Structure 1
Amino acid sequence: MSAVSPSATAMKAPYRALLDALRDSLPAECLIHDPLRLLAYGTDASFYRLVPQLVVRPRDEAELSTVLRECHARGLPVTFRAAGTSLSGQALSDSVLIQLNQGWRDHRILDEGRAIRLQPGVIGARANALLAPYGRKIGPDPASIGSCMIGGIAANNASGMCCGTAQNSYRTLRDLRVILADGTCLDTGDAQSVAAFRASHGALLAELERLGRETRGDSELAEKIRHKYRLKNTTGYALNSLVDYTDGLDILCHLMIGSEGTLGFISAITYDTVPDEPEKAAALAFFPDMATTCRATIALKAAPVSAVELMDRAALRSVADQPGMPEALATLPEGAAALLIDVRGDDEGALGERIEAVQAVLAEVATVEPVTFTRDPARYALYWKIRKGLFPAVGAVRGVGTTVVIEDVAFPVERLDEGVLALTEVFRRHGYHEAILFGHALEGNLHFVFPQGFEKPGEVERYQALMDEVAQLVGVEYGGSLKAEHGTGRNMAPYVELEWGESAYRLMWSIKALFDPDNLLNPGVILSRNPTQHLENLKPLPAADPLVDKCIECGFCESVCPSRALTLTPRQRIVVRREMARLEALGERRDAADEQQLATLRDGYAYDAIETCAADGLCATQCPVGINTGDLVREWRHAHNANQAGLARRVGTHFAGATRAARGLLGMADGAHRLLGTSSMSRITGTLRRVSGRRLPQWLPSLPAPAAVRVIEQPRGSRGGAGKVVYFPSCATRVFGPTRGDDEQRSVMAITLALLDKAGFEVIVPDALNDQCCGMAFQSKGQFETGERKAEQLNRTLLAASENGRHPVLCDTSPCTLRMTETLDARLSLHEPVGFVLERVLPRLSITPKRERIAVHVTCSSTRMGLGDSFVALARACATEVVVPPGITCCGFAGDKGLTTPELNASALAGLGEAVAGCEVGYSNSRTCEIGLSEHGGIPYRSILALVDEVSLPRDAVGAESLAEG
C-alpha cells in the first residue's frame, strides 16, 4: 500500500531508450533522471507518491510534441505537471513526468482587458496582476492562486471562493490552444489552424458531434448532466459540453477543461475576464449551530454577496491563535460555526448599499454576536489569508507520521444543512473526530479535512470504509458531487461510475478512447478500472525535523523561492529530507539498495538543497503555518560545518581586520580590472575558479570598488531640528563601495550621511564601528555561536550609542535590520531605509520627482518586514515611472552566494534584464543584492537612499530660494 521508494526506481530499458532518443532534441538540463530530483520533482500536494522514471522539461510546443511522439512510439505513459499544488494525485507519474519549469509564461492582454491569453506556466495571481490596471481578473480564484498555474487551473476546472459555477474556466473560456496525444496542435483562435484541424481530424470532430446528439437525445441522461452542473462538479469529464454545444470544435475545447491532462495538453488558453470590483468588505459572522449557519447561507444566496465561506467549530479552533483573529473565537459554544461573508462594489456608495442589504438578511437569523463588516484592507486580507490557509493549518497540527486528507464535495444548496449533519455523522461513526468542515457555502461546496495515518493495522480499511460511505451519501443519496473543484484525480476515480451511473460512465470511456486510444495520457486519473487505486501508492510522511514536520507539501512556498528553477524548492528540500529520515530510521534493516539510495541522496542534498538555498525566509511568508525552510538549511550547515567553528570565532574576534582585508582584496580586484579589462579579467578569474574546484569566489564585472570608511569617522553636526539618530552602516556597506562605471560614485555611507544632514538630523556613529556586525554573516553559514556573540556585542554598542533606546537606530541595509529586530534588545528603535525615510525623512524634504524610468527591487527582508508596498510608494514619490519586475522575489545573492554560488543569483534573476529594459537605473536597500542586480539587470543598482538624496532639497532651502526669487 505504501509509496514506491526511489531506491526501487532504477531506470528501466524503455526509458533509457527514450532518454537516448530525446537527447537529440532537448538539452541535458531538460532531461532529469537522478534519484534525488526524480523524488523531489515527482511530489505534489496530494497524499500519494509515485516516483517517475524520467522528468522532462520541454521549453516549447515543438519539444513537447517530440516528447509525446517518442513516448507514444514506445508505449510509455506521460503526465503533465504545472505547479503541483493539486490535491487529488493528478500530477503524479511512475513513468514520464512532463514538467513546466520557468518557461511557458507568455501572456497577451486582449480587448482592453476584457480577455487575456495565457500560457500554462503563468501563476494565477500573476494573471490577475496583469489585469489589475483594467479593473478585471480571471474568473477562477482557487485558494492556491498565489502558487498554482493556469495550466492546472484549466486542466482541473478549478474554481474557488468567488468563482461559483458562472466564472470557472469552462464558462469563461474564449479560445484554446491544445496539443493532442498524436502531437497535433490546434488553436481555436486561429482560423488557419481550425481549418487544418477540420481537414486532418474531421473524423474526431464528427464523432464528438455524434456523441453530443445521442446524449441530448437521451432525455434522462441529458437532464442528469444538467442537474450535476448546476452544482460545482469536476467528477469525471465535462459531459455538459455534449449538451451545451453542437459543433465538434466547441465540444472538444470544453472537454479539455477539467480533463486533468488525460485528453491533451493545454498550451495556451484565452479567458473572457470578469470585473474586479475595487471596494471590498468582509465580516466573520458567528452562528450558534451548524443548522442556523446553513439557513443563513440559503438566505444569503439571493443577497448581493461575492462569497460566503463556511467554517465549522473545529476549523475555527484551528486558526483561533492566529494574530488578529476576533476574541469571540475563544468563547464560541461547541456547536457554533461561522460564515466569512465578502461584499464588493464599484464605489463606496454601492458597497455601503450592499452591506446594508446583507445586514438586513442576517437580521432575520440568530447570531452569536452582532455582525460587523470591516473595510480595513489589512483585516480584510487577514480574514481571507486565514480562510485560504485552513487546509495546511489543519495539516500542521496532525500527528507526526500522519498525512492529511482533503475531500471536496457539493450538496444541492437547498439540502446543505441536511448534508452537513449527515456527513458529520459519517465521520463520527468511523472515528474521525478531528475532521473539520469548511467551504464555499453558496454553492453547497464543502471541504472536509482530517489527519490520516496509513501505517497502523486497520487504518487503510477504516479509510476505505469512510470513503465508500461518503461516496454513497453524497453521490447517490443527495445527488451531489464527489469532487466539486479539486479534480477527480486518482483518489476519486474508483467512484466515478457510482456517482454518474453506468451510461454516463460508458460515455466517458468513449471520450477517453477517442482522444487517447492507447491510454497513455495520465492513466489512472479520472477513469480507472482499479477499484482500490485510491488505497495504493500512499505517501509516507516520516518525522524528519521539528522545524519542518508540520509541512504537508502543499507547494504554496514554491513561487517565491529563488532556487526554484535551479535545484530545489522549500517543499522539495523537505521531501528529500523526509526520505533520508525514512531510510535512516530503518537502521539495520536497510538493505544494500537502501544504503546506496541514502548515500546518493545525501551526496546530492549537499548542493541541491544546502548550497543553493538562499535561506531568505520568503517561504515562511507564503506558508500558512510559517515554516521557514531556511532554518532547516542553517541547522544542516551548523551540523556539517562544525570544523569551521574555530575560523568563524577568529574572524568574529578580529572583525575589523577581516573587513580591512576584504576591502584590500576588492581594491586589488578593482585595480586588476582597470588594468586587464572586463573580458580578460572574466577569462582569467573563471579559469582560476575552475582550477580551484569552485573554491575561489566568482569575480563579477559589477563587483564594486572598496568603500571609503573614513567618511564615517568625521564628526557629524546638525543643520536642523530633526533630533538625533544613531547610524549603523552594515559591514556590507563598510566593505563594498560604488560600482565602476556608475555615475553615482559615493559610498552608501556618504549618501546616507548627506541625506540625514539634509533632513536636519544630528547623526551619532557608534564607537568601534569597524568591529561591529549583526551576526547574520555567521548565522547564515550555521556558525550560530559566533553569530550570537557578534549580535550581543552590537547590542551593547547600540544601547550605549542610543542612550538605551532614546534615539532611533538606522541601518542602511535591510537584511541586517531584519536580523537585528529578531535578536537585539526590544528597547532599541530599529529602522531600515524605506520605513525610516517615509516616516521621518521625507516630510522634512522637498521632492522633485525624477523623470527618467527607474527600476525597484524589493528585497526579501523588506518583504518579510511587510515593507513591500512602502518600498514602491517611496520610489513613486521620487520618480514618475517605476518598474517593479514581476516574478522576481529574492535575488539569490544571499550575502556572498552571488560570488560563491553565482548560478543561484543568475537563476533567481533570469529575465531581469528584459524586465528593466528602458530603465536608467535601479534601486534597492542591500548593497550585496545590488551587485547581483547590476550584473544581471544590465543597469546600475544603488541604494534607495541615493534616489531620495538625488531628488530632494531641505524644505527650508526651498523656502529660502522662493524668498530670494521673490
Structure 2
Amino acid sequence: MTDFLAQLADAVSGDVDSGPAAQAMYSMDASNYRQVPEAVVFPRSVADLEATVRVCSANGVPITARGAGTSIAGQALGKGVVVDYSRYLNRVLEIDAERGTARVQPGVVLDTLRAAAAPHGLTFGPDPSTHSRCTLGGMIGNDACGPHSVAWGRTADNVVSLDVLTADGTRFNTATPPEELTGRADEIHEGLRALASDNLALLRTGFPTLPRRVSGYALDALLPEHGFDLTRALVGTEGTCVLLTEATVRLVPSPPSRVLVVAGYADDVAAADAVPSVLPLRPLTVEGMGADLIDALLVRGRRTAALDNLPEGRGWLFIEVGDETAELAQRRARELADTLAQRTGATTSVATDPAQARQLWSIREAAAGIATRMADGSEAWPGWEDAAVPPENLGSYLRGFRELLARHGLRGIPYGHFGEGCVHVRIDFELTTERGRRAFRSFMTDAADLVVAHGGSLSGEHGDGQARAELLPRMYSPELLRLFEAFKEIWDPRDLLNPGNLVRPRPLDADLRFEGPVLPLPTTLRYPHDDGSLTTATRRCVGVGKCIDTSTGVMCPSYMVTRSEQHSTRGRARLLFELMRGETITDGWRSTEVRDALDLCLACKGCLSDCPVNVDMASYKAEFLHQHYAGRLRPISHYSLGFLPLWARLAHAAPGTANAVLRSTGTAALVKRLGGIAAERSLPAFSRVSLRRALRRLPRRPAGRRRVMLWPDTFTNFFSPEVGVAAARVLDYAGFDVVLPRSSVCCGLTWISTGQLDVARRVLRRTLRVLEPELRAGTPIVGLEPSCLAVLRHDVHDLLDVDSLDALTLGAFLKREAPGVQFPRLPATAAITQQHCHQHAVFGNAAEEQLLREVGVGNRTLDSGCCGLAGNFGMERGHYEVSVGAANRVLVPEVSAAEPDTLVLADGFSCRTQIGELTGRKALHLAQVLATAIDQGFR
C-alpha cells in the first residue's frame, strides 16, 4: 500500500492525504456508518481524476466520490480512495440564460449555482435543506430533490448531460450521438441497448409509479418510449458506475415573488391526509411536520420567534406559491388558504413578509439536525431516513408507520416533503448495543415491507447506499435485481467504483460507527447534556455539514478562512470521536493531529447555537487542552494570556508604570515574544482607574431601591471601566441600586479557553462563595462582557454541579426587570452592531435591538460571524492571519464602508479591540449609547 500511495502522490497535482487526520475525518459521512479510507484525493483538474483512476485501477483499489459528505445512507464512504471534489473542482463554468442551462463542475455548491443563475431570473429546481453546502455532483449521485420537486422535479428531471469517466479511464458525454462513440464508450452504449431491448416487458412493469422513486437504478429510462435516456439512467447511481467530470443542468424560471402559507391540523397524519387537496392548486412546495419536531426544537435552547407565527394545530403543511408580482402571489396564497380552510378544516397563516417566511422555513431546514435528539435529549439516528409513497397513500402510511414504531418500542419524529409522499425521520435505535442492533435490523425489514405495501420506494431522496440496498429484494423482483447487477457490470466490470452500494451490498447493520472500542480516557468536564460522556458528546455530530456553510452565521470562523475540513466543527468532532475510539488516532490525549485541528478553533461557541445538534466545540477544546498538557509544560501564551486576570490585577497596582513599559517599542516587542503573543498585535493599555474605584465616585442613592449586581469582569474592570460606569448610570436611571461583589471575583474564562480547567474550577468555586449572600437574596447580575456572562450562564454547568446564575446582559435585564422605563430618544442615528459570538450562542441580542429601536437608533446587526480576535485566540502567535481573515470576511468591509456618523456597536472587548485595530473606528458598548441618550435627555 505504501508503494500505491507513492504512485498516487506522484501522479496527482492536487492534494493527496493519507495521514491519520484525513482518514479519521473522511471515515464518516452523515450516515450511521464508518469506513476508514486509505487516502483522500483532492483533484485540481480532470487530468487529476484520470490519474487517480489510472493508479487505482492498476492497483485494484476502489474509489468513492464525495462532495459535501452529507450523504445519509453511507454512499460517501469507502475503504480505498475517497475523491473529494469540493476543494477545487467547484466552479460554475457557464450560464446559458437563453437555453436555460448551466455547465458546472461536480464540486460546485448548489447555492453558488443558484446565485450565478439568479441575475437571469433562473434557478436550479431541486433544493435539499443542505443547499448551502451540498454539491451538484452529490445531488446527481443521489438524485436529490428537496421541497420544490413538487413544481420542478428531482435532480434526474433537471440534468441535460453528463461528462463521465469510467473506472477503466474512458471519458465521454452522455448526450453524444451513438454514431460518434468509439471504443469502450461504444461498447458501453451497445451493452446498455441490448440490456434494454432484451428486457422491455420487465422494465415496463417492474418499477412502482410514484414521483419520488429513487431506490435502485432507473433502468426504465433506457426504454424506447423514454428516448433511451442514458443521462437519466446514470442520475442516482450513487457513484457506483462512473465518476463525474462535468454536468450540464437545466435551469427553471424562478418566480419573482413567493408567499408561504402554513396550514395547521390536528396532527401530522391529518396534514398528510390533506395533501391531495393541495396538489391541484399548483403549489411550489408542500412540506409537512408535526408538533414533536417543535418539542425537540424547544429543548435546544432559545425559543425562535418563528413559532409564534405557526397557526393552531399539532401538525402543519408549509405550502409555498409564487407569481410574477407580490400582489398576484399574495392573492394566490390567500385563495389557497381559504380553499384549505373550507375543504380540509385547516387553520391557516399567510406569511407575506419574506423575512417571516425565512424564519418559518428555518424550522423545517434545521429538522435534519433537530431530529437527531428526541425532546428528552436521547439520541436518534438515520437509517429509515426518507421512504416515499404515492401522496394519496401518505396518511395511511404515516398511521402504519407510527404503529410500527410503537410495536418495536421506538420513537421518531417524521417530517418531510409531504407533497410527494416523502417522509424523513430519525429513530432512537439503540445502536451502541448488540441487542439494539438486532432490533434495528428487525425494524428496517418491517419498515421496508410497510412502504412496499403502500406502493412506495425505500428511498425517496437520499439514495439507498448501505442503509437500504440490502432491502431492495423486498421492493424489486429477482429478475430486476439481476438487471441492476448487469447494468453495474457494463459500466464497472471490476467493481472498483463505490463497491458495496446498490448491488452486492454490504449488510445494513455492518460497519456501524457505534461498534468498536471506546478508550477509558479520563475527562474532567461534566457533559451534563450527554450523560457525562465526551464519547456521547462527540456523537452529536451526525455530519449534516452546516459548519461548512461559509455564507452566513458564526460557525465556523476558521473554516470560513481556510476551507479545510479539519477546521470545521464536523472535522474536529470526528477527530475527537476517533481519539476516543483509539484506532485511526492512536495516541489518545497526546494526539498531535487533534491538537493541530483544535489550534485554530476560536472557541467562539458559534457551533453551540448554529450547529443543529448543538455541538459545543469550545468546551471539547478546553477538555482536550486540559488533558493534552496535563503534567507537561504548556505553550507560553497559556501562562501569559490564560492568567490575564492575575497579571491585570497586579499591573493595576501601578497602571501608569505598566503602560509606560508596554508602550516602549523594545519592551513591548520583548513582552510579546516572551509571552507567545503575535508581533502584529498591539498590547492593550490599562485604564488609569479601575471600575471598582470609579464607581466609588458616583453619587449614592437613597436606600430602598431594588438591588442589582454589576459584574466587574477583568476587561471592564481594568481596561474599559468607562463601559461599567455607563452601565451603572443606566441602571441608576432605571431605578436600581447598583452594587458590586464584596470582593474580587472572576468567571475563570481565560483559564477555560486555555484548558486550565483545574484553575478555572477553583476560581469559579471561590467566586460562588463570594456571591453566595447575594445569590441567596435573589440579587440578579448584569454582565457587560458577553464571554464572561456566557460562563456564568453555560460553562458553569460543565465545571460544577450548580445551577445557572441569574446573570443577564444589560439589555435583557432592563427588558425583564424595567420594561416600563423609557430612555430619552437620540436624534435619528444609524448604527451597525457586531454581536459577540458568545452572546449569539448563549442568549442572543433581541433585547438589545429592541432598546436601540426605542431610543431612535436605526440598527443593523451584521451577519459577520466572529470578529476573529476571540479573546486569547487572536492574540496568540501563529493565529494572526486567520484572526484577521475572519474579520476581513464581512466585519472589516462593513465597518469601513459605514458613514462616519454611523455608530459602531460591539459589547465584547475583543470585538471592540479588533474593530479599532483593523479599521481605526471606535466601537461602543450598548451601555454607552444608552448613557448618551440619558445625557442628551437632560440637556
SS in structure 1 of the partner of residue 604 of structure 2: coil
Tell me the equivalent position of 1:406.
384
Give, in angstroms, the shift of residue 51 of structure 1. Answer: 0.9
Tell me the equivalent position of 2:901.
none
Worse-superposed segment, 659-668 or 463-472: 659-668
RMSD: 6.0
Give, in angstroms, the shift of residue 176 of structure 1. Answer: 5.6
* Aligned counterparts of 1:872 and 1:201: Cα–Cα separation in 2: 69
The one-letter amino acid paired with 1:98 is: V
Post-superposition Cα deviations, 1:174-202, rounded to whole Å, max 9, x if no partner, equal: 666655546677789xxxxx999997868
Tell me the equivalent position of 1:88.
73
Tell me the equivalent position of 2:566.
567
The one-letter amino acid paired with 2:787 is: P
- 5 Å-filtered alignment, 1:754-833, equals 774-780=747-753, 781=755, 782=757, 783-788=759-764, 811=784, 814-816=786-788, 818-819=790-791, 826=806, 830-831=810-811
- 5 Å-filtered alignment, 1:480-519, equals 480-496=456-472, 499-501=475-477, 504-519=480-495
Tell me the equivalent position of 2:504.
529
- 5 Å-filtered alignment, 1:464-479, equals 464-475=441-452, 477-479=453-455
SS in structure 1 of the partner of residue 607 of structure 2: helix
Post-superposition Cα deviations, 1:264-297, rounded to whole Å, max 9, x if no partner, equal: 135566551533644334243214x94x554322
Post-superposition Cα deviations, 1:775-817, rounded to whole Å, max 9, x if no partner, equal: 4223333343355268659979999xxx977xx9683x55345
* Aligned counterparts of 2:181 and 2:764: Cα–Cα separation in 1: 70
SS in structure 2 of the partner of residue 491 of structure 1: helix
Tell me the equivalent position of 1:78.
63
* Aligned counterparts of 2:36 and 2:654: Cα–Cα separation in 1: 49
Distance of aligned partners of 1:546 and 1:635 in 2 relative to their CA distance in 1, 3 Å threshold: farther
* Aligned counterparts of 1:48 and 1:35: Cα–Cα separation in 2: 18
Tell me the equivalent position of 1:351.
330
> For the Cα contact (< 8 Å) 2:557–2:866, is it kept in 1?
yes
SS in structure 2 of the partner of residue 284 of structure 1: strand
> For the Cα contact (< 8 Å) 1:846–1:953, is it kept in 2?
no
Give, in angstroms, the shift of residue 650 of structure 1. Answer: 8.0
> For the Cα contact (< 8 Å) 1:237–1:258, is it kept in 2?
yes
Tell me the equivalent position of 1:739.
none
Give, in angstroms, the shift of residue 38 of structure 1. Answer: 1.4
Among 270, 279, 283, the alignment partner of 1:301 is 279
* Aligned counterparts of 2:368 and 2:69: Cα–Cα separation in 1: 19
Matched, 1:894 2:870: yes
Give, in angstroms, the shift of residue 435 of structure 1. Answer: 4.8
> For the Cα contact (< 8 Å) 1:293–1:337, is it kept in 2?
no
Tell me the equivalent position of 2:222.
242
Among 676, 684, 689, the alignment partner of 1:697 is 676
* Aligned counterparts of 1:378 and 1:659: Cα–Cα separation in 2: 50
> For the Cα contact (< 8 Å) 1:567–1:612, is it kept in 2?
no
SS in structure 1 of the partner of residue 465 of structure 2: coil
Distance of aligned partners of 1:796 and 1:88 in 2 relative to their CA distance in 1, 3 Å threshold: same
- 5 Å-filtered alignment, 1:173-188, equals 173=159, 181=167
> For the Cα contact (< 8 Å) 1:88–1:486, is it kept in 2?
yes
SS in structure 2 of the partner of residue 902 of structure 1: coil
> For the Cα contact (< 8 Å) 2:644–2:750, is it kept in 1?
no
> For the Cα contact (< 8 Å) 2:473–2:481, is it kept in 1?
yes
The one-letter amino acid paired with 1:280 is: L
Tell me the equivalent position of 2:801.
none
Distance of aligned partners of 1:707 and 1:232 in 2 relative to their CA distance in 1, 3 Å threshold: same
Using the size of structure 2 for normalisation, the TM-score is 0.73
The one-letter amino acid paired with 1:779 is: I
Give, in angstroms, the shift of residue 320 of structure 1. Answer: 7.4
Distance of aligned partners of 1:374 and 1:412 in 2 relative to their CA distance in 1, 3 Å threshold: same
Tell me the equivalent position of 1:742.
none
The one-letter amino acid paired with 1:74 is: N
Give, in angstroms, the shift of residue 770 of structure 1. Answer: 13
The one-letter amino acid paired with 1:235 is: S
Among 329, 335, 338, the alignment partner of 2:315 is 338
* Aligned counterparts of 2:891 and 2:648: Cα–Cα separation in 1: 39
The one-letter amino acid paired with 1:446 is: V
Distance of aligned partners of 1:490 and 1:797 in 2 relative to their CA distance in 1, 3 Å threshold: same
SS in structure 2 of the partner of residue 340 of structure 1: strand
Worse-superposed segment, 297-306 or 309-318: 309-318
SS in structure 2 of the partner of residue 494 of structure 1: helix
Tell me the equivalent position of 1:721.
none
* Aligned counterparts of 1:399 and 1:765: Cα–Cα separation in 2: 39
The one-letter amino acid paired with 1:162 is: H
The one-letter amino acid paired with 2:78 is: S
Tell me the equivalent position of 1:945.
924
State the number of aligned residues: 868
Tell me the equivalent position of 2:512.
538
Give, in angstroms, the shift of residue 540 of structure 1. Answer: 1.4
* Aligned counterparts of 1:727 and 1:328: Cα–Cα separation in 2: 33
The one-letter amino acid paired with 2:69 is: G
Matched, 1:451 2:428: yes
Tell me the equivalent position of 1:161.
147
Worse-superposed segment, 484-493 or 706-715: 706-715
* Aligned counterparts of 2:760 and 2:55: Cα–Cα separation in 1: 52
Distance of aligned partners of 1:348 and 1:204 in 2 relative to their CA distance in 1, 3 Å threshold: same
Distance of aligned partners of 1:651 and 1:154 in 2 relative to their CA distance in 1, 3 Å threshold: same
Give, in angstroms, the shift of residue 660 of structure 1. Answer: 7.5
- 5 Å-filtered alignment, 1:423-462, equals 423=401, 431-435=408-412, 437-453=414-430, 462=439
Give, in angstroms, the shift of residue 33 of structure 1. Answer: 2.9
> For the Cα contact (< 8 Å) 1:408–1:446, is it kept in 2?
yes
Using the size of structure 1 for normalisation, the TM-score is 0.71
Give, in angstroms, the shift of residue 444 of structure 1. Answer: 1.6
> For the Cα contact (< 8 Å) 2:828–2:858, is it kept in 1?
no
SS in structure 2 of the partner of residue 633 of structure 1: helix
* Aligned counterparts of 1:776 and 1:613: Cα–Cα separation in 2: 16
Give, in angstroms, the shift of residue 50 of structure 1. Answer: 0.8
Distance of aligned partners of 1:399 and 1:140 in 2 relative to their CA distance in 1, 3 Å threshold: same
* Aligned counterparts of 1:868 and 1:102: Cα–Cα separation in 2: 37
Distance of aligned partners of 1:403 and 1:309 in 2 relative to their CA distance in 1, 3 Å threshold: closer
Among 886, 910, 926, the alignment partner of 1:928 is 910
Matched, 1:617 2:599: no
Among 637, 643, 650, the alignment partner of 1:657 is 650
The one-letter amino acid paired with 2:665 is: A
- 5 Å-filtered alignment, 1:568-587, equals 569-582=568-581
Post-superposition Cα deviations, 1:729-773, rounded to whole Å, max 9, x if no partner, equal: 96457778xxxxxxxxxxx77799999999x99999988999675
Among 591, 598, 603, the alignment partner of 2:591 is 603
Post-superposition Cα deviations, 1:91-135, rounded to whole Å, max 9, x if no partner, equal: 111111223565555457947897766655555556667777887
* Aligned counterparts of 2:909 and 2:793: Cα–Cα separation in 1: 19
